[in-house]
Amino acid sequence: AVGKDDFNAENQVACCSFPLSFAAEGNATIGGCCACNAGGVAVLRYGTTRDLVLGVEVVLPDGRIYNGLRRLRKDNTGYDFKDLFLGSEGTIGIITAVVLKLFPAAKEKETAFCCLNSIQDAGKLLNRFKMKAGSSLTAFELISDLPIERVKKYLPDIEVPPLSDSPWKVLVELSLEKKPQESMMEHILEGAFEDGEITDAAIASSLQDSHTFWHVRESIPLADRTAGGSIHSDVSLPISLIPEFVEETSAMLLSAYPWLGLSIYGHLGDGNLHFNFVSPEDPGATYRNEEGIREILYSQVNKFEGSISAEHGIGMLKLDHNYQFKDPLEIEMMRKIKNAFDPKGIMNPGKLLKAE
């Protein structure tokens, strides 16, 4: 909800944008994003759904309507019910309306696909962009080479830019208020190349090129499904620990399941990895071994002080693992909140919390 008085002129609303963006946005709804606190590729600059919502309207389990549709950046008058409902997966109420933050639409964007030898180099490159580009850095996506190879193999109609052979790629985007006299992207990447952080890069020369680059990234889930046996995860970790986590966890998984195809990509800028798996030779193999695969992955996530769900929620799939790794006191407090709002247990039972 946006009021006209928030702008100098009504037509300025059209010049603003809601920055939540992810591969499934064509099928997603604002309500679903609020229910699981969705993130996406622009979290690095704008935050998750929770950061993009100012107020909510919620139908409570007893039928009453909580009207929290405030347009305030600050309201320190008690508990923040907005943040409580956002990410609660419909277990304590149904969100029916929201007040969203809008941002000025970027006038210019610079996009590049970078080739790197290691995740450690990706971390160095991320720090370089943070220092040189500041708030202009909108997205920083880490992608291993195997998912891109699957896009080439299984989705031949997808145009993949010519990239040198390297084990890791980074898709980076800058959003600028005006067209710079000199390319900020080129300047930053020149320094990165000189310092050995990247081996090569393809810079978009047009908006169409930028769309082409992002289409490769967004097609990875479809390529994995087409390959066969695709199972997904959505984990978050301290950024500094990601290189060690990926190396150690990959070795453990391939030792236990040598046939497993890894598909590692995600939002390195905010520590969110999609650590996914395929088994093209036997599409049923991953499903038969899914519990063992997830046990190794989530145990490693717990060891490295991460979260087994960065932005997709818990639902039923991760319910037992959430109870396994989450602090029992946190589960107890969540249960008390659930019972306070929904004593009859009628709101999305069996999701996020086990039904009593």
**Residue spans of the chain under pLDDT 70:** 1-14
pLDDT at 5: 37
CB count within 10 Å of CB 19 equals 22
Q: What's the gap between Cα 324 and its chain centre?
A: 23
Q: Are residues 10 and 90 in the same domain?
A: yes
Number of folded domains that form the chain: 3
Q: Are residues 269 and 293 in the same domain?
A: yes
Same domain, 214 and 261: no
CATH number at residue 197: 3.30.70.2190
Residue with tokens 């890894």: 262
> Does residue 334 form part of some domain?
no
77: domain CATH number is 3.30.465.10
pTM for this prediction: 0.88
Residues 57 and 114 reside in one and the same domain: no
What is the C-alpha to C-alpha distance for residues 188 and 229, in angstroms, rounded to an integer? 39
Tell whether 14 and 89 lie within a shared domain.
yes
Which residue is listed with tokens 């037509």? Answer: 11
Tell me, yes or no, whether 169 and 209 share the same domain. Answer: yes
CB 272 within 8 A of CB 235: yes
The verdict on 58 and 117 lying in the same domain is no
Supply the range of the domain harboring residue 261: 228-315
Among 221, 244, 274, where does a domain finish? 221
Instruction: Mark whether 282 and 216 lie in a shared domain.
Output: no
- State the pLDDT at residue 130: 95
Tell me the three state secondary structure of residue 26: coil
> Both 132 and 208 in a single domain?
yes
User: Tell me, what's the pLDDT at 13?
Assistant: 52
Same domain for 73 and 126? no
55 in Cβ contact with 69 (< 8 Å)? yes
- Give a yes or no: residue 100 inside a domain: yes
User: Among the three residues 52, 70, 104, which one is the final residue of a domain in this structure?
Assistant: 104
Q: What is the per-residue pLDDT across 124-183, written as a single tens digit (0 to 9) for each? A: 999 999 999 998 999 999 999 999 999 999 999 999 998 888 999 999 999 987 777 789
CATH of the domain at 291: 3.30.70.2740
Q: Which helix (H) or strand (E) holds 9?
A: none
For residues 73 and 23, membership in a common domain is answered with yes
Alpha helices in the chain (DSSP H): 30-36, 43-46, 49-52, 81-85, 119-133, 145-154, 184-194, 207-218, 220-227, 242-256, 285-288, 290-303, 319-325, 328-341
327 within a domain of the structure (yes/no): no
Query: What pLDDT is stored for residue 8 in this prediction?
Result: 38
Parallel, antiparallel or unpaired: strands 235-236 and 261-267: unpaired
Regarding whether 127 and 38 lie in a shared domain, the answer is no
Angle at 157 between CA 155 and CA 163, to 5 degrees: 80
